[in-house]
Amino acid sequence: MKNITKTFKFTAIAIVVATALVGCTQDKKNSDEATQAKQIAPKTLTSKNAQIFLDEVATEKVQLSLDSNRAEWIYNNFITEDTASLYAEASQKFTEAGVRFAMHAAKFDKVDVNSTQRRQLNILKQSLVLPAPQDPAKSAELAQIGAELGSIYSKGSYTTKEGKKLSLGDMTSTMATSRDYDELLEMWSGWREISPSMKPLYIRQAELANEGANGLGYKDLGAMWRSNYDMPADDFAKELDRLWGQVKPLYDDLHCYVRSELGKKYGEDKVPQDKPIPAHLLGNMWAQSWGNIYDVVAPDNADPGYDVTKQLAAHDYDEIKMVKGAEKFFTSLGFDALPETFWTRSLFTKPADRDVVCHASAWDLDDKDDIRIKMCIQKTGEEFSVIHHELGHNFYQRAYKEQPVYFQNSANDGFHEAIGDTIALSVTPKYLKEIGLIDTIPDESKDIGLLMKMALDKVAFIPFGLLVDQWRWKVYSGEVTHENYNTAWWELREKYQGVAAPIDRDADAFDPGAKYHVPGGVPYSRYFLAHIQQFEFHRALCEISGNTDPIHRCSIYNNKDAGKALNTMLEMGSSQPWQQAYKVLTGNEQMDATAILDYFAPLHTWLKDKNQGKQCGF
Catalytic hit among 280, 389, 531, 552:
389
The separation between the first and the last C-alpha atoms of the chain, rounded to the nearest angstrom, is: 41
**Under the criterion CB under 5 A, does residue 326 sit at the interface with Zn ion?**
no
Question: What's the closest the beta carbon of residue 536 comes to Zn ion, in angstroms?
Answer: 18
374 beta partners: 347, 361
Active site residue 527: yes
d(CA 390, CA 373): 7
Catalytic hit among 14, 237, 326, 360:
360
d(CA 292, CA 186): 18
Question: What's the closest the beta carbon of residue 72 comes to Zn ion, in angstroms?
Answer: 16
Q: Give Cβ neighbours of residue 533 (< 8 Å, ≥ 6 apart).
A: 414, 415, 418, 422, 582, 591
Active site residue 315: no
Q: How many angstroms separate the Cα of 41 from the Cα of each of 8, 107, 134?
A: 22, 10, 17
* Count of positions on this chain that bind Zn ion (CB under 5 A): 2
Residue whose CB is less far from ligand X8Z, 101 or 294: 294
> Of Zn ion, ligand X8Z, none, which one does residue 526 interact with (CB within 5 to 8 Å by kind)?
none
Q: How many angstroms separate the Cα of 143 from the Cα of each of 135, 225, 324, 395, 499?
A: 12, 19, 36, 30, 34
Residue whose CB is less far from Zn ion, 383 or 417: 417
Catalytic hit among 255, 393, 416, 538:
393
Residue whose CB is less far from Zn ion, 127 or 210: 127
The contact set with ligand X8Z (CB under 6 A) reads: 4, 13, 288, 360-361, 386, 389, 417, 527
Question: What's the closest the beta carbon of residue 137 comes to Zn ion, in angstroms?
Answer: 34
> Of Zn ion, ligand X8Z, none, which one does residue 386 interact with (CB within 5 to 8 Å by kind)?
ligand X8Z
| Maximal CA-CA distance, the chain | 76
> Of ligand X8Z, Zn ion, none, which one does residue 527 interact with (CB within 5 to 8 Å by kind)?
ligand X8Z
Residue whose CB is less far from ligand X8Z, 57 or 293: 293
Question: What's the closest the beta carbon of residue 32 comes to ligand X8Z, in angstroms?
Answer: 32
Active site residue 12: no
Question: What's the closest the beta carbon of residue 480 comes to ligand X8Z, in angstroms?
Answer: 21
> Of ligand X8Z, Zn ion, none, which one does residue 360 interact with (CB within 5 to 8 Å by kind)?
ligand X8Z
Q: Give Cβ neighbours of residue 406 (< 8 Å, ≥ 6 apart).
A: 9, 54, 58, 119, 120, 123, 124, 574
Give the orientation angle of helix 115-126 with respect to helix 47-77, to 10 degrees: 40
Q: Dihedral, CA atoms, 322, 323, 326, 332, nearest 10 degrees? A: -120
**Under the criterion CB under 5 A, does residue 13 sit at the interface with Zn ion?**
yes
Residue whose CB is less far from ligand X8Z, 4 or 64: 4
d(CA 336, CA 328): 10
Residue whose CB is less far from ligand X8Z, 108 or 384: 384
> Of ligand X8Z, Zn ion, none, which one does residue 518 interact with (CB within 5 to 8 Å by kind)?
none
Active site residue 393: yes
Task: State which residue has the least CB distance to Zn ion.
Answer: 13
Catalytic hit among 72, 96, 327, 417:
417
363 beta partners: 2, 372
Helix (H, G, I), strand (E, B) or coil at 277: strand
Residue whose CB is less far from ligand X8Z, 372 or 389: 389
DSSP string, 1-63: -BTTS--SS--BSSSS-----TT--HHHHHHHHHHHHHHH--SS--HHHHHHHHHHHHHHHHH
E strands in 240-339: 277-278
> Of Zn ion, ligand X8Z, none, which one does residue 364 interact with (CB within 5 to 8 Å by kind)?
none
Question: What's the closest the beta carbon of residue 389 comes to ligand X8Z, in angstroms?
Answer: 6
Question: What's the closest the beta carbon of residue 501 comes to Zn ion, in angstroms?
Answer: 27
Task: State the amino acid at position 402 in one-letter form.
Answer: E
d(CA 584, CA 569): 6
Task: Indicate the burial class of 574 (C-beta count within 10 angstroms; 0-12, 13-18, 19 or more).
Answer: buried
Question: What's the closest the beta carbon of residue 36 comes to ligand X8Z, in angstroms?
Answer: 33
The 369-408 site mask, x for binding Zn ion (CB under 5 A), equals: ----------------------------------------
* b (16+ CB within 10 A) / e for 215-242: bbebebbbbbbbbbbbbebeebbebbee
Residue whose CB is less far from ligand X8Z, 3 or 151: 3
The 408-437 site mask, x for binding Zn ion (CB under 5 A), equals: ---------x--------------------
Query: What is the Cα 220 distance to its own chain's centre?
Result: 22
Active site residue 517: yes
- Element spanning 159, H or E: strand 157-159
Task: State which residue has the least CB distance to ligand X8Z.
Answer: 360
Residues marked as catalytic: 359-360, 389-390, 393, 417, 517, 527
Q: Which residues bind to Zn ion, rule: CB under 5 A?
A: 13, 417
